[in-house]
Amino acid sequence: MEKTVKILNELVSKNIIKSYAIGGAIGVMFYTETISTKDLDVFISLHIMPTGIIHLGSIYEYLKKSGYKMEGQHFIIEGIPVDFIPVYDELTLEALEKSVEKTYKKIKAKVFGPEYLIAIALKTGRSQDLRKIDLLKEETKLNEALLIDILKRHHLYEKWKKL
């Protein structure tokens, strides 16, 4: 994954994307034990065209020129299926803006904070997402005040209380 993160950082340094943060199961693994996943979820902030259209073409062009191919919805970057997900609501935008810099081997990577990973998983609500929440609650020192604040502002607190 080290080489994959290096490519993500290149996309930012070459101004192809504004920023990124790793989410999903691999984001959770920065804070917990390994869990099963088939891809790397990379949330991205893009440059929006004057027409307001979000265009992913520059990412695809750069990666294809660099020799990477697509399989279904994923780019295979250094053997890892990568799913580029434009931020799609206020929660994912805020999570990206407040992402945490982590070191993977010797490479810096931006990752959603554990409180945001929990909020996004809670909002998504699939059984696999609920397992991520359990892992984070059990294995990570959470900032409870921050978590409650995020959940309340994004209308997820009632759902949280039912867990």
How many domains does the chain divide into?
Answer: 1
What is d(CA 3, CA 6) in angstroms, rounded to the nearest whole number?
Answer: 5
CB 131 within 8 A of CB 139: no
Q: Which CATH number characterizes residue 46's domain?
A: 3.30.460.40
- pLDDT at residue number 57: 86
What is d(CA 40, CA 37) in angstroms, rounded to the nearest whole number?
Answer: 8
What is d(CA 147, CA 140) in angstroms, rounded to the nearest whole number?
Answer: 12
Q: Which residue has the tokens 């929006």?
A: 48
Low-confidence residues in the chain, pLDDT < 50 = none
Q: Please give the residue range of the domain that contains residue 50.
A: 2-161
- pLDDT at residue number 46: 85
- pLDDT at residue number 49: 64
* Tens digit of each residue's pLDDT (9 = 90 or more) over 86-110: 999 999 999 999 999 999 899 999 9
